[in-house]
Amino acid sequence: MHDQPVAALDIKGLAKTFDRPAVDGLDLSVRAGEFYCLLGPNGAGKTTTLRMVAGLLRPDAGEISIFGVDALRDPVEAKRVTAWVSDEPMIYDKLTPFEYLEFVAGLWSIDATEAESRARDLIGWLGLEPHAHERCGGFSKGMRQKVALAGALVHDPKLIILDEPLTGLDAGSARIVKDVLLQRVRKGVTIIMTTHILEVAERMAERIGVIDKGRLIANGTLDELRGRAGREGTTLEEIFLDLVAEQDQAA
């Protein structure tokens, strides 16, 4: 009998209802070291799913396991290896990027010397060096997103969850963010990302999941999705639109 490698994320029967079901019995598994993109139309349940994985929302039902740790029973242990980046970078206007990273390192109880070295590297990679000791209050959206991303990486997580991280970024900033993420994947980090920019998913993701009305309606590599759609060489955009239209008709 082979030992199954532990999945980075294993979701079973996940459900959350607000005024209507937002996530409806979702099953999803993401392998360790994988770049996984979660796609779906507005209101499909992507953000709700990821917020539950990050421990920001309590599910009504289901199980979430992060690297074998039950995230609902032992959230602190699961959070230790996880990082969350949202589309609206939440940072402190009155702290500098350097102070922000020191704060994050403190929250994750990372060794100060190691954290400082990582922080300096990240500040350099993300082009924040000239602004490292300026308060974040006057930063542009792109710079704020870079600071938030640096915060997510400074504690060296094994799983990074990003909700629309490229929204509102200029081409240069988006390129830097994408490069940093790909570099992390090469080092074995698992990335789960939602995006509305399908070209990004097409080029970066190893596997893609499509979610609609709280359910996973397709899951696989781009070629597997093409095979399912029965159209060789078709773009992800066409596949996505077909899948969502199919789902709408079925509903």
Partner 1 sequence: MMQPATLPWFVRHELALAWRDWFSMMTAGKPGRGLIVAVSLVILAAFLHVLAYGLVAHYADVGDNPGKTTLVVVTGCALLSWSLMLSQAMESVTRAFYARADLDLILSSPASSRRIFALRIAAIAVSTVLLAILVTGPVINVLALSGGVRWLSAYGVVIAMGATAAALAVALTVALFRLIGPQRTRLIAQIVAAIVGAVFVIGVQAAAIVMYGSISRITFLSSDFASSIAPDTNSLFWLPARAALGDQAALAVTVIFSLALLFTAIAIFSTRFGEHATAAAGIAETRVRQSRKSGFRAISARRALRHKEWVLLRRDPWLVSQTLMQIFYLLPPALLLWRNYGSDTGALTILVPVTVMAAGQLSGGLAWLAVSGEDAPDLVRTAPISPRAIIMAKIEAVLGAVAVVMAPLLIAICFASLRIALMAALGIAASAASATAIQLWFRAQAKRSQFRRRQTSSRVATFAEAFSSISWAATAGMLAAGTPFAIGGAAVSLVILALTWTISPSRGAD
Where on the chain is the footprint of partner 1 (CB under 8 A)?
Answer: 54-56, 76-77, 79-80, 82-84, 86, 90-96, 98-99, 101-109, 111-113, 115-116, 119, 131, 133-135, 137-138, 151
Nearer to partner 1, 22 or 115 (CB): 115
Residue by residue, DSSP assigns 194-243 as E-S-HHHHHHH-SEEEEEETTEEEEEE-HHHHHHHHT-TT--HHHHHHHH
Nearer to partner 1, 106 or 227 (CB): 106
Report, in Å, the least distance between residue 143 CB and partner 1.
10
Nearer to partner 1, 122 or 218 (CB): 122
CA angle, corner 74, sides to 73 and 80, nearest 5? 150
What does the block give as tokens for 51? 């917020």
Report, in Å, the least distance between residue 128 CB and partner 1.
12
Report, in Å, the least distance between residue 32 CB and partner 1.
19
Report, in Å, the least distance between residue 107 CB and partner 1.
4
Nearer to partner 1, 35 or 98 (CB): 98
Report, in Å, the least distance between residue 67 CB and partner 1.
13
- All residues at 6 or more sequence positions from 243 whose CB lies less than 8 Å from its CB, including other chains: 210, 212, 217, 218, 229
Nearer to partner 1, 64 or 198 (CB): 64
Q: How far apart are CA 218 and CA 62, in angstroms?
A: 20
Is residue 84 helix, strand or coil? strand
Report, in Å, the least distance between residue 52 CB and partner 1.
12
Q: How far apart are CA 11 and CA 63, in angstroms?
A: 6
Evaluate the CA torsion angle 240, 243, 248, 251 in order and state its sign: negative
Nearer to partner 1, 67 or 98 (CB): 98
Residue 103 and residue 95 in contact, taking contact as beta carbons nearer than 8 Å:
yes
- All residues at 6 or more sequence positions from 231 whose CB lies less than 8 Å from its CB, including other chains: 238, 239
